[in-house]
Homo-oligomer: A and B are copies of this chain.
């Protein structure tokens, strides 16, 4: 009795109002004529009031029918508008992707990925938040971002060190080598372009070490322990520019992920990839990523692949 209106019925009534005929409305809607008649009959009984009356060969709307048809036009226009907005979102013509990431990625992979994303989908808004992995995960859980770009240091077997990942959908973006960084004046023979072969870690057991961020430091300690010594940590800093400057000045040696070298390379240092030392970079989302997030992640992996290819090529030269 409270007129449980239905969009299909409203579409039918609106079509009848436009065309002035049941048959024409059926043609327009792709229905058979009896279906339209049936809809109208149901609509009338539900409304509790006649909506149209036969007029000669055709039909004519009553006052109530005209009223409802007018309202139906407004409503259907809004419904179609909402459908179009939704479609725009699905087709990446609108929407946003918010990303939390650590500094060295923000300086390298992300600008390149965002550039191609914005070029292909100008309607997409990209939000960036600088955050170390734990904070990035928090931001993701809190709904502050749609994607968290995090990393973990792994051994050669690529075993996971973070257990919490099962809660998220994980996409591998980039596996990058970790480099040993030494002052250029200590460069071994055969060094080219600042890159040399890595000496055995044990040969540096007596050196002063410069530690990076918390997670890089833990990785460094583990590797040195495996090589049979405990490194003497002379300095600690998160800043990858500072690390290289300190190394160049002779304050010690260090290990850094390759991305930091891509972001900035101090001419006073030489680097060497440490065999088996890998930093794995991953994109996390809660459940399946939204289309904009999926697109952003795809760009990140593409750029990561390009970086890996470039590095492999450079190693051949």
- By a beta-carbon cutoff of 8 Å, the part of chain A in contact with chain B is 1-7, 47-50, 53-55, 60, 62-64, 67-68, 71-72, 74-75, 78-79, 81-83, 85-87, 89-90, 93-96, 143, 286-288, 290-291
Which residue of B is nearest A167, CB measured? Answer: B56
A62 to B50, CA, bound (A): 42
Known contacts: A64-B95, A286-B55. The answer to whether A82 contacts B291 by CB under 8 A is: no
Number of copies: 2
| Contact between A75 and B82, CB atoms less than 8 A apart | yes
Q: A64 — which chain B residues lie within 8 A by C-beta? A: 86, 89-90, 95, 290
Sample of 19 further A-B pairs with CB below 8 A, known A48-B87, A48-B94, A55-B143? A2-B83, A3-B83, A3-B87, A5-B82, A48-B90, A49-B290, A53-B288, A55-B286, A62-B290, A63-B96, A63-B290, A64-B90, A68-B86, A71-B78, A71-B82, A72-B82, A75-B79, A75-B82, A78-B78
Known contacts: A49-B93, A90-B47. The answer to whether A78 contacts B74 by CB under 8 A is: yes
Which residue of B is nearest A89, CB measured? Answer: B64
| Contact between A86 and B286, CB atoms less than 8 A apart | no
A47 to B6, CA, bound (A): 19
A224 to B54, CA, bound (A): 43
CB distance from A97 to the nearest CB of B (A): 10
CB distance from A60 to the nearest CB of B (A): 7
Q: A3 — which chain B residues lie within 8 A by C-beta? A: 82-83, 86-87
A287 to B62, CA, bound (A): 11
Q: A4 — which chain B residues lie within 8 A by C-beta? A: 83
Contact of A63 among B50, B87, B89 (CB under 8 A): B89
Enumerate 27 A-B pairs (CB-CB under 8 Å) in ascending A order: A3-B82, A3-B83, A3-B87, A4-B83, A7-B7, A47-B86, A48-B94, A49-B89, A49-B93, A49-B291, A50-B288, A50-B290, A53-B286, A53-B287, A53-B288, A54-B287, A55-B286, A62-B290, A63-B89, A63-B95, A63-B96, A63-B290, A67-B89, A71-B81, A71-B85, A74-B78, A75-B78
Q: A93 — which chain B residues lie within 8 A by C-beta? A: 49
A224 to B95, CA, bound (A): 78
A83 to B6, CA, bound (A): 11
